[in-house]
Structure 1
Amino acid sequence: MDIMLVGGASPLMKKLSLKLHKEGHRIFVLSGSRDPQNHYEHVFERYDFSYDKASVEEVFRSVNPDVTILMGAYDSNYPGRDFRREAVAYSAGLQNLLLSWSALKKGRLIYLSSVEVYGGKYPSAVSEQDKPRPRGVRPRMLYQGEESCRFYQEELSMDVVILRLDWLHDVCCSTKEALSSICGRKCLDAFRDGSVSYQRNYAYALTYIGDAVESIYKVVACEEHQEALYHISSSEAYSEHDIVKKVGEVLGKKIEQIDNIVGEQHQIILSNERFKAEFGFKVWCRPEETIEKTLQYMKQHSNKFLDADHPGMDIWHKLYYAMTSTLGALVPYLENLILFIPFFMLNNRATDSQYFSKIDFYLLYVLLFAVIYGQRQATFSGILATAGYLFRQMYTRSGLAVVTDYNTYVWIAEIFIVGLVVGYMKDSLLFLKEEKEWEVGFLSEQVTDIGDINDSNLRVKEGLIDQVINYDNSLGTVYDATEQLEQKQSVEIFFCALNMIQKLMDCPDVAIYRVNKEKYARLFAYSSAKAASMGNTVYLPDKKSLDEACNENRVYINRSMEKEYPMMAYNVESEEQMEILIMLWSLPFERMTINEANRLIVIGKLIQTSVRRADRYLEALSEERYHSESQILKASAFEELVGAYRKASKEKLTEYVLLQIEVEGENEKETVDKFTSMLRESDYIGNLSDGKLYLLLTNTDLKGCSFVQNKLKQNGVASSISEEGRL
């Protein structure tokens, strides 16, 4: 097939042209500029025309391509130095390209877009159905390009495919390539400076550039496709902390890792399910491999990545850079000196000429360098011109006569005045030009900053609007929900509270622990396996940061995003002793705020009030609930307790095991006294309606139960799992 690639030279363009060449296709390139440094490999024909030129239509008619690929987000003709100016040129050029291609009425057009078009909050993988919310000039420019292409696909029924690529990674062989990728920038900072800054709350789905090229080719080569929009992504999230950690491991030396965590959680992961289902997708290379290869290349070719004065540069390259910089500074002076020779010869010949004797070639010589280089070279050329003038005058007169001649000084003054004035004007114009460029750059940065501030303000505004509209988060709603706990018994309160916390805090992974005086936290109820990931028993002093927050009676917030800790936790004290510990595990980073912490405190206090009320009620009825002078619950109380755990286990909030205790020839109290010391505070002993003695092991599975049975056996007590047995 004849394939037209439209875009400036880039790593993606290079790999894509290589792939197409290997597959036997003929490649044409519309470069969009006349930059001689842009090098394209395996290209049959190259056209160096700007996209907005009328000749573009003639190029398309001449090539008549079967497939046209617009590099779009990966077009190096738009490097991002001046977003607004580039956006105008990009839009005009894209419209001309689309009109020229549509005039052929044949072939397929592929537009390469980027994950940059998504600028909002996306807690889960982003599918093609999710509408982009571009923030910033460049994202809006790319999204406008998508919309232009979609118009030709939907309204004109033309074969147009939009491919959104996630963040790409590849082995970086130059500083320019390193600066254009996330992994490359981190490697370059660590290699150059020995320090890397990162934001722990930022995560990306890094995709190997080779995998992206293979996916693009599948769309190029297919005869038909089902959709007009696909995401190309590995869909595997990597945080900036993971990237920096890997860079430190590969570099082989200690680097300073600076966590600049600011703002809310930022994670945009493109879902590749649509593309994978139709074309298939396989990850051939992961970021860890490219980081390792990039750093190896940087070590072997340090001169490409380090400045001349960098301490890591070897002595030979330092000498090389010193010599080249010195020669670069001397070139204008050498040029000045060399051009002095022909002007000296012309002046000597013109002196005796009837027609050219009035022409002052030295003045022209000084003016030439003053106009081109400015005052410095004008001064040097004036010195050379003076020396040449004096030398020529001494052909016919003595040196004393020349230096005492009034006309000599008039001529010298004329040369230097004219040269310095013109040179000063040149320097002034150059300074004004640089100042204007600097001012334009500064104002452009200011406009960009204002845009970023506006985007931030919009996010804050949206959050406040959500808080106003979403009345579920109001304190009145919290109180109404916790008031339902007043109808529950002590044990049931915690299971009901678990569901209530899930709803009010909008967090699916919640765990409640009971804490004793020795600071051992026992898992009481949990909503998921993730919520119980800290274990059934936690010794709080081993969790330093969590223990400090509990001791200070404040909400623990996991701002460092440590995986082994919950996102937020709060302990509810009773008579200056920790009693209840609430853990939230899947709270988004942007909601880890003082507002959320205060809400958790209110919920915890209201739960505590309900628990205290229930405990006082049960304490008042202790004579009716327990057999006299024993810890054995009567049948009615014990059946109510077992029923509460049975209901909670069906809702996957806890697990338990009910053991039947064998009582042979002894009364129940004597049997219970044998093993009471080995029980936990959360275990219960009682009778059921059948009159038999049972032991309720809370938050215990069959493995833990077998351990308890062995202990009972060692104390001379036989036991067996009841019929309902376990969760």
Structure 2
Amino acid sequence: MGSILIVGGYGTFTEELINKFYKEKWHIYTLTNSQKLVKPAHVFEQYTFAYDSASVEEVITSCRPDAILFMGAYDPLYRWEDDHVQEESLNYIAGLSNLLMAAASFGVRHFVYVSSDRVYEDEYAVDIREEMPASPNSFQGMTISQGENLAMHFNATTQMEVTVLRIARMYGIPVDRESCTDIYSKMCMKALVSGRLYVNAKKVLSALYVKDGVEAVYLLIDAPERKYKLYHVSSREEVTEDKVAELIREKYSHPVEIVDRTIGLRQRVILSNERFCSEFSFQVRTGYEEMIPMIIAHMKRHKNLFLHGDEQYGGKRLRDRMLRLLKKAVPFLETVVFFFPVYILNNRVADSIYFGQINFYLLYVLLFAVVHGRRQAILSALLSVIGYCFGQMYTTSGFSLLIDINTYIWTAQIFVVGLTVGHLKDKFRETEEDKNERIDFLADRLSDITVINSSNTKLKNYFAEKLISSAEGVGRIYEITSRLERAKMGEVLFSALDTLSEIMETKDVSIYLVSNESYCRLASASSEKARSLGKSLAMADYAAMFDVLIKKQVYINRSLDTELPMMGSALFDDKGNMRIIVLLWNIPYEQMTLYQANLLSVVGALVYAVVVRDADYMDALVYRRFLPGTGILQQEAFESMLDIYRNAGEKGYAQSSVFYIQAEGMPLTELNDKLRLLLRETDYVGMVQGGNIGVLLTNTNKNESAYVKARLEENGIATYQEKKI
């Protein structure tokens, strides 16, 4: 139990949140910037102020909330129409900034910013994880993304915990026509009103039921602590537009026409909620196949809330048919009813000096032709002719009227004018409908073109950057090889980390040495993330990766498994034996391409060539580096290795530990044989000043070195932490 301040308007999502927190016995306060909203029953206190006003700080001081929930992307008070999008964008960022500053100054424990999948507006072949950068294209998407960055900045610079929660587009059972804003209720509404659905089979839909979204928000806020600052919540339920349309057609009693408008590229944006589900034990309980029939049933029961007066009658019952027939007959009845006043008026003013020359029948026909079209023009013209004939028979006989040429001229005049105007009215109405359909069609095309253009722009910028920087040019390759060749003996692997990090554009690089056919040992790593697989790596435990590497192919983590590197490459000797493994972490998904894989292979080959040269050179100088008949380094060579690992440790590339031993009368050859059995191949033993013998344990920290020293003590070799003078 606690207190929460919910900032936003009262939409379906907000109302469900209020009900949820009320059931869990939380004190609920709301802050809204609309004077028209009525406080819900479960809200303890409602404050009405602009989000960017100075009164916000007083509101937070007054209610003292444990958590503030900023509805953000799901606040119904923000209008993102084209006419107001820039103004709303400014209000959005200003209001959020003011709320964050006020909350931070008061010392609010937890601030939650509700974002949405609108920050991703490109095409993604895989589920989008939290690590993948946002790609907004619209003003709304860019504004929401800027809000995320602002929230993250406050999280990093203040003591307040700020969490960004990206919730995939939500849907629910709408209250009325205005609340049909989500993808599913919009389609149900269109099917109810027009009986026609335009679908794009390449558009993949995925939405989260509002009550599942509310449950996720509550779990996040109620948790005592959170491991991450950014979470995704989604249903991960994929369905295409045409499948949803088929389900809607099955559930409606009246016929629904599905028009296939499949064009453009595949549109897929689905958030991965693995992080949230694993931490908070969250499960999606409701699917679209269950909820769409409930939405349709609700719309059928409350047609008066979803249909306008002229749309009410779409049923198949006799009553509905009669009402529909009456609706169609109303214009004709209106034409007949209006005829009688026109007939009386025409007869009364026939002898008038001022109004006698006015043709009321012609005005009557023009009026109904302009308002209703050709059908009513024909009926009104026919009634006008009948009225005219009756009026003329007061002064002449029917036979005289029948042979009078003026009668036919007057009749032709009425029908020509009425039919012409009515035809123009009908053509105008058809043109308007065609225009609206064309606009909808072009809007879909524009959306596809925008996605295609975004993808092309990314490719253009990427290759332009590569061309300008010439990172893979001949000069750049020469610089790489020169830098590696200038490295000291034994320092090549550490220099290779800088080279790989720069070329492959990632700060997380690790290099493993293959000790035998089944194990690898960490030689150097540039970060803690790069060390996450451990210092010893059993190939059998990572078969998915090594099955690819052993085939001399570049491994690409297309499943985006967080426990595995994003890319990896193996380097082989002349006999085809795997010798070195290069692993890269935290590479953007858009850079995991065949081009990058080839680049990694080329750079890796350069690194391996220099490593082999370095090893051969050191083997050639073995007589100058080792004491005769042993593997114990001479003093100069050993101190050089100490400097190399000391510098690598300062950069965070490698761990090492040093301690000392004394031969105590034991011949060096005998000591060398013992140490060879007790130490690893990657460890170094050498002479130091004062006649001491030093042991350099690579890839080992001080705590881990205690096990090695204990093993040496058990075999009669005394160890010392400091040199003995």
- 2:324 maps to what in 1? 332
Aligned counterpart for 1:243 among listed residues 209, 230, 233:
233
Distance 2:72 2:687 in 1: 75
TM alignment of 1:94-493, pairs within 5 A: 135-136=137-138, 173-174=172-173, 180=182, 236-238=229-231, 242-244=232-234, 295=285, 303-304=293-294, 306-307=295-296, 326-327=315-316, 328=320, 331-333=323-325, 432-471=431-470, 474-493=473-492
- 1:41 maps to what in 2? 38
- 2:519 maps to what in 1? 520
Asked whether 1:626 is paired with 2:626, we answer: yes
Distance 2:328 2:270 in 1: 60
- 1:637 maps to what in 2? 637
- Deviations 1:58-81, CA, capped at 9 Å, x for gaps: xxxxxxx9999xx9986679676x
Structure 1 residue 494: Cα displacement? 1.1
Evaluate the alpha carbon distance shift between residue 209 and residue 434 of structure 1 in structure 2; reply closer, same or farther with a 3 A threshold: farther
Structure 1 residue 680: Cα displacement? 2.5
- Contact 1:683–1:696 (CA under 8 A) maintained in structure 2: yes
Evaluate the alpha carbon distance shift between residue 721 and residue 117 of structure 1 in structure 2; reply closer, same or farther with a 3 A threshold: same
Question: Alignment partner of 2:676: what SS?
Answer: helix
Distance 1:550 1:28 in 2: 61
Asked whether 1:499 is paired with 2:491, we answer: no
Distance 2:483 2:523 in 1: 20
- 1:545 maps to what in 2? 544
- Deviations 1:369-418, CA, capped at 9 Å, x for gaps: 999999999xxx9xxxxxxxxxxxxxxxxxxxxxxxxxxxxxxxxxxxxx
Distance 1:724 1:180 in 2: 71
TM, length-normalised to structure 2:
0.53
- Contact 2:374–2:423 (CA under 8 A) maintained in structure 1: yes
Distance 2:476 2:329 in 1: 87
Distance 1:640 1:687 in 2: 12
- Deviations 1:645-696, CA, capped at 9 Å, x for gaps: 2332233221122343453553232334345335332123333343334433
- 1:533 maps to what in 2? 532
Distance 1:26 1:78 in 2: 15
- Contact 1:570–1:582 (CA under 8 A) maintained in structure 2: yes
Distance 1:15 1:622 in 2: 76
- 1:273 maps to what in 2? none
Evaluate the alpha carbon distance shift between residue 372 and residue 549 of structure 1 in structure 2; reply closer, same or farther with a 3 A threshold: farther
- 1:605 maps to what in 2? 605
Structure 1 residue 712: Cα displacement? 3.3
Question: Alignment partner of 2:529: what SS?
Answer: coil
Distance 1:661 1:142 in 2: 63
- Contact 2:233–2:271 (CA under 8 A) maintained in structure 1: no
Evaluate the alpha carbon distance shift between residue 710 and residue 501 of structure 1 in structure 2; reply closer, same or farther with a 3 A threshold: same
- 1:272 maps to what in 2? none
- Deviations 1:189-245, CA, capped at 9 Å, x for gaps: xxxx9x98679xxxxxx999999xxxxxxxxxxxxxxxxxxxxxx99323xxx5347
- 1:585 maps to what in 2? 585
- 2:44 maps to what in 1? none
- Contact 2:236–2:270 (CA under 8 A) maintained in structure 1: no
- 2:48 maps to what in 1? none
- Contact 1:9–1:75 (CA under 8 A) maintained in structure 2: yes
Distance 1:623 1:265 in 2: 63
- 1:717 maps to what in 2? 715
- Contact 2:506–2:584 (CA under 8 A) maintained in structure 1: yes
Structure 2, unpaired ranges of 5+ = 1-7, 20-27, 41-52, 57-70, 92-112, 123-129, 146-163, 188-200, 208-213, 220-226, 239-264, 303-311, 340-346, 348-366, 380-419
Evaluate the alpha carbon distance shift between residue 86 and residue 694 of structure 1 in structure 2; reply closer, same or farther with a 3 A threshold: closer
- Deviations 1:561-609, CA, capped at 9 Å, x for gaps: 2211122222221121121222222323333333433333232222212
- Deviations 1:145-164, CA, capped at 9 Å, x for gaps: xxxxxxxxxxxxxxxxxxxx
Evaluate the alpha carbon distance shift between residue 447 and residue 441 of structure 1 in structure 2; reply closer, same or farther with a 3 A threshold: same
Structure 1 residue 704: Cα displacement? 2.6
- Contact 1:685–1:693 (CA under 8 A) maintained in structure 2: yes
- 2:666 maps to what in 1? 666
Asked whether 1:695 is paired with 2:695, we answer: yes
Question: Alignment partner of 2:507: what SS?
Answer: coil
Aligned residues: 552
Q: 427-436 or 481-490, which moves further after superposition?
A: 427-436
Distance 2:635 2:455 in 1: 61
Evaluate the alpha carbon distance shift between residue 262 and residue 724 of structure 1 in structure 2; reply closer, same or farther with a 3 A threshold: farther
- Contact 2:512–2:581 (CA under 8 A) maintained in structure 1: yes
Evaluate the alpha carbon distance shift between residue 262 and residue 648 of structure 1 in structure 2; reply closer, same or farther with a 3 A threshold: farther
Letter in 2 for 1:547: F
Question: Alignment partner of 2:315: what SS?
Answer: helix
Evaluate the alpha carbon distance shift between residue 651 and residue 78 of structure 1 in structure 2; reply closer, same or farther with a 3 A threshold: closer
- Identity over aligned residues, as a percent? 26
Question: Alignment partner of 1:41: what SS?
Answer: coil
Distance 1:177 1:522 in 2: 60
Distance 1:169 1:15 in 2: 17
Question: Alignment partner of 1:464: what SS?
Answer: helix
Structure 1 residue 543: Cα displacement? 1.5
- Contact 1:663–1:671 (CA under 8 A) maintained in structure 2: yes
- Contact 1:264–1:589 (CA under 8 A) maintained in structure 2: no
Evaluate the alpha carbon distance shift between residue 181 and residue 724 of structure 1 in structure 2; reply closer, same or farther with a 3 A threshold: farther
- Contact 1:490–1:611 (CA under 8 A) maintained in structure 2: no
Q: CA RMSD in A?
A: 7.4
- Deviations 1:496-547, CA, capped at 9 Å, x for gaps: 2222323333322221111133141111111221111111011223223321
- Contact 1:570–1:601 (CA under 8 A) maintained in structure 2: yes
Letter in 1 for 2:639: E
Evaluate the alpha carbon distance shift between residue 336 and residue 623 of structure 1 in structure 2; reply closer, same or farther with a 3 A threshold: closer
Distance 1:697 1:72 in 2: 54
- Contact 1:520–1:540 (CA under 8 A) maintained in structure 2: yes
